[in-house]
């Protein structure tokens, strides 16, 4: 099982330069992946600094050489497929083929209906499915014609050609996020390269990992290609049991442990406490 970090794209004092420092520290400390959230606003009263994850990951790519980089997760329905294709291919090639694209349909009214985006979650799910199918075709480096319900790449005697293709083949890995024990996100994930489950009603357990692995197996995930199961968690480097915890999740079928490095572990953002130094300390402590 590999070990990654999940880091917010917001926080007082956070900028792309600090993200690059953290990514380099993560690589030096032995982490295998560095993943940024993708949000437009902070989850606290402002003013709070927010970075664009793709620009910040570009800085991280320039500061590192081996660690996997990506978003967990990008709500694709509020991003245009052609723009995402250009951003992801550019970043994948810049990083030497280290990009992972985590995706989801998104939640929270302040990033949807409050800013004029699609308010209906089911419709966003439909948009996500069409977006992913189109994105995979755009990554092919071949001409694409598409006239769908939500997106279009077509004109009279014209098809869109996004060149060059990503460095990774057959495509940049796509991991699909979803709240467990939902249905649609996990059915979607089985069609791609990995699943990123989460809970909103408590901490993640080994039983949850085993249940997700069984669900994905029943849906046929991994039958023809390797499939990643990236489970969430928080560990304390002073805890002698953490190696046992990792082993239990790996034994249940997890392929990634994604450590949550967020400010709520080290302060109270609602009161203006953004302890980025403590977050960096956990990164530097390693898995």
pLDDT per residue rounded down to tens, the chain (287 residues):
999 999 999 999 999 999 999 999 999 999 999 999 999 999 888 899 999 999 999 999 999 999 999 999 999 999 999 999 999 999 999 999 999 999 999 999 999 999 999 999 999 999 999 999 999 999 999 999 999 999 999 999 999 999 999 999 999 999 999 999 999 999 999 999 999 999 988 899 999 999 999 999 999 998 888 999 999 999 999 998 999 999 999 999 999 999 999 999 998 898 888 999 999 999 999 99
**Angle, in degrees to the nearest 10, between helices 53-63 and 16-29:** 50
Of the candidates 3, 54, 50, 70, the one whose C-alpha atom is nearest the C-alpha of residue 282 is: 3
Please give the sequence-ordered ranges of beta strands (E in DSSP) within 64-119, or none if there are none. 68-75, 99-104
Residue-level pLDDT at 223: 86
- Burial code (b: 16+ CB inside 10 Å, e: under 16) for 143-165 equals ebebebebbebeeeeeebebeeb
Of the candidates 66, 67, 68, 40, the one whose C-alpha atom is nearest the C-alpha of residue 53 is: 40
Please give the sequence-ordered ranges of beta strands (E in DSSP) within 122-270, or none if there are none. 146-147, 152-153, 174-179, 194-198, 228-233, 256-260
DSSP tag of 241: T
Residue-level pLDDT at 270: 85
Radius of gyration of the chain (CA): 19
Kindly report each contact of residues 150-154 with a partner whose C-beta sits within 8 Å and lies 24 or more positions away, as own/partner. Answer: 150/126, 151/80, 151/81, 153/81, 153/82
Residue-level pLDDT at 149: 98
Run of H or E including 94: helix 81-94
Residue-level pLDDT at 198: 95
The domain locations on the chain are 177-254
Residue-level pLDDT at 81: 98
C-alpha angle with apex 127: 121 to 132, nearest 5 degrees?
A: 125
**Six-digit token pair at 126?**
């439909």
């Amino acid at each position: 099982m590999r070990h990654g970090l999940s880091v917010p794209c917001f926080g007082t004092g956070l900028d792309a330069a600090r993200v690059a420092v953290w990514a380099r520290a993560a690589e030096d400390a032995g982490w295998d992946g560095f993943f940024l959230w993708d949000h437009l606003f902070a989850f606290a009263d402002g003013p709070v600094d927010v970075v664009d994850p793709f620009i910040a990951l570009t800085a991280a790519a320039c500061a590192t050489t081996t660690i996997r980089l990506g978003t967990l997760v990008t709500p694709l329905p509020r991003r245009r497929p052609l723009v995402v294709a250009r951003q992801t291919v550019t970043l994948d090639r810049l990083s030497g083929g280290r990009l992972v694209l985590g995706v989801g349909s998104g939640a929270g009214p302040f990033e949807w209906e409050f800013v004029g985006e699609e308010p209906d979650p089911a419709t966003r799910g439909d948009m996500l499915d069409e977006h992913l199918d189109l994105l995979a075709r755009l990554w092919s480096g071949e001409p694409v014609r598409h006239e769908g319900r939500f997106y279009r790449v077509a004109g009279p005697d014209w098809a869109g050609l996004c060149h060059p293709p990503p460095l990774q083949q057959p495509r940049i890995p796509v991991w699909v996020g979803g709240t467990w024990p939902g249905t649609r996100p996990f059915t979607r994930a089985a069609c791609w390269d990995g699943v990123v489950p989460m809970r909103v009603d408590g901490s993640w357990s080994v039983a949850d990992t085993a249940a997700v692995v069984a669900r994905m197996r029943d849906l046929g995930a991994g039958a023809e290609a390797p499939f990643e199961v990236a489970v969430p968690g928080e560990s304390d480097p002073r805890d002698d049991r953490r190696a046992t915890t990792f082993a239990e999740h790996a034994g249940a079928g997890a392929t990634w442990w994604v450590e949550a490095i967020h400010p709520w572990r080290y302060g109270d953002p609602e009161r203006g406490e953004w302890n980025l130094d403590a977050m960096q300390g956990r990164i530097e402590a390693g898995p």
